[in-house]
């Protein structure tokens, strides 16, 4: 009887497999030699379809045209870099169903396309020694026993010399992203691989925790999220990193940086703990609105801040809605005679810029 049941299961499995639909051969996205990109969607019953890309101004979208069952739109030529996009079909937003390059988020998801450069850009994989990216799982003592992931990059050759100690850059993502954002979309690992191979950056460890200490979309403010996240980084993340990895001791071997929400977190935590961090970076930062009020005493003591901070570097695109915050921060620091570098650029709130900012910031660290 057991043999009959086993045979029945096998036959049922074979029948299900035989009835599986054929693979969709649709190509999307297609990057053309002239850097134009065609996006396609099979949606035979749709009444309308639109393409939304990360560099577009808020509320704008590109209509897609229909030919048979296929909707398409061609954009560009586009500058080399990564682009995040999604489709809007009859009022519903979806990722590209045939593109495996998914942009993970804390809530919802989208798709990504890479437009390559010639020769390969600093954020593209090159034929150089590569470091390792590990995912560490940790039960947080600070955040209600929640098991959280921490992505950690170690540089090429890390495993060969256990006695060598490395400086650490704590690198934070933006709102509605995940701990994997700086690796999967930002290519931080390839950027460091290439900079190290060119001897433009000191070999370092990158630590990339999950930045939403409060659930994304909850009633908590960015300020309350940052306060809890600060405790999480200091009491959970840093002890794990310093126990598990070959970390060089001391504040001179620690830097903190981030993009958007993470840039605001880096500024806040960095200024609160000049005893722990010697360098701060902020990319398109959500600069805290109460920054001047909170750090009044530090702003009045430029001599102390300048003596402790080896580097205070921030950048933002002029087309970014957060640009005014960065400009006001630069003006405030200048008026307070605190040494800093503000790098205004062209561009919106996009990973294409944040990759560039990291590639400029990392070589300045740990000298």
Residue 356 lies inside a defined structural domain of this protein: yes
CATH number, position 75: 2.60.40.10
Same domain (yes/no): 50, 176? no
Residue 15 lies inside a defined structural domain of this protein: no
pLDDT attached to residue 250: 97
Same domain (yes/no): 242, 136? yes
Residue 120 lies inside a defined structural domain of this protein: no
Residue 93 lies inside a defined structural domain of this protein: yes
Same domain (yes/no): 197, 288? yes
Partner residues linked to 89 by β-bridges: 49, 92
> Is 130:183 a contact under the CB 8 Å cutoff?
no
pLDDT attached to residue 232: 98
pLDDT attached to residue 223: 76
Residue 300 lies inside a defined structural domain of this protein: yes
pLDDT attached to residue 141: 97
Residue 125 lies inside a defined structural domain of this protein: no
Q: Which domain holds residue 150?
A: 132-364
Same domain (yes/no): 154, 292? yes
pLDDT attached to residue 326: 98
pLDDT attached to residue 19: 58
Partner residues linked to 102 by β-bridges: 111
Number of domains the chain contains: 2
CATH number, position 311: 3.40.50.1820
Residue 122 lies inside a defined structural domain of this protein: no
Q: Which residues of the chain are under the pLDDT cut of 70?
A: 1-21, 220
Same domain (yes/no): 96, 143? no
The residues, any chain, with a CB within 8 Å of residue 326's CB and separated by 6 or more, are 282, 284, 285, 287, 314, 315, 316, 342, 344
| Predicted TM-score of the model (pTM) | 0.93
Secondary structure of residue 52 in the 3-state scheme: strand
pLDDT attached to residue 21: 64
pLDDT attached to residue 218: 83
């Amino acid at each position: 009887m057991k043999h009959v049941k086993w045979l029945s299961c096998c036959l049922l499995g074979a029948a299900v497999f035989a009835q599986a639909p054929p693979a969709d051969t649709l190509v999307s996205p297609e990057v053309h030699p002239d850097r134009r990109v065609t996006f396609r969607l099979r949606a035979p019953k749709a009444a309308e379809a639109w393409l939304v890309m990360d560099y577009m101004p808020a509320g704008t979208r590109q209509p897609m045209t229909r030919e048979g069952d296929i909707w398409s739109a061609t954009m560009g030529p586009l500058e080399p870099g990564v682009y995040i996009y999604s489709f809007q079909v009859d009022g519903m937003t979806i990722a590209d169903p045939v593109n495996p390059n998914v942009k993970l988020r804390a809530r919802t998801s989208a798709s990504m396309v890479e437009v390559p450069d010639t020769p390969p850009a600093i954020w593209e994989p090159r034929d150089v020694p590569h470091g390792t990216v590990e995912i560490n799982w940790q039960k947080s003592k600070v955040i209600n026993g929640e098991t959280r992931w921490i992505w950690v990059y170690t540089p090429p050759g890390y495993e060969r010399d256990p006695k060598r100690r490395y400086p650490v850059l704590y690198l934070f993502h933006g709102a509605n992203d995940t701990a994997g954002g700086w690796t999967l979309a930002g290519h931080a690992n390839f950027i460091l691989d290439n900079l190290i191979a060119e001897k433009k950056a000191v070999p370092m460890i990158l630590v990339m925790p999950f930045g939403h200490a409060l659930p994304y979309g909850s009633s908590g403010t960015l300020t309350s999220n940052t306060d809890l996240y600060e405790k999480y980084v200091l009491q959970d993340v840093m002890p794990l990193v310093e126990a598990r990895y070959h970390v060089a001791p001391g504040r001179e071997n620690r830097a903190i940086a981030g993009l958007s929400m993470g840039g605001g977190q880096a500024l806040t935590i960095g200024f609160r703990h000049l005893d722990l961090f010697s360098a701060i970076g902020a990319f398109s930062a959500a600069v805290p609105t109460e920054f001047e009020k909170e750090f009044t005493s530090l702003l009045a003591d430029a001599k102390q801040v300048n003596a402790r901070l080896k580097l205070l570097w921030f950048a933002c695109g002029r087309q970014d809605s957060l640009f005014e915050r960065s400009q006001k921060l630069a003006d405030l620091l200048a008026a307070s005679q605190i040494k800093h570098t503000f790098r205004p650029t062209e561009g919106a709130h996009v990973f294409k810029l944040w990759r560039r900012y990291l590639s400029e910031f990392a070589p300045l660290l740990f000298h």
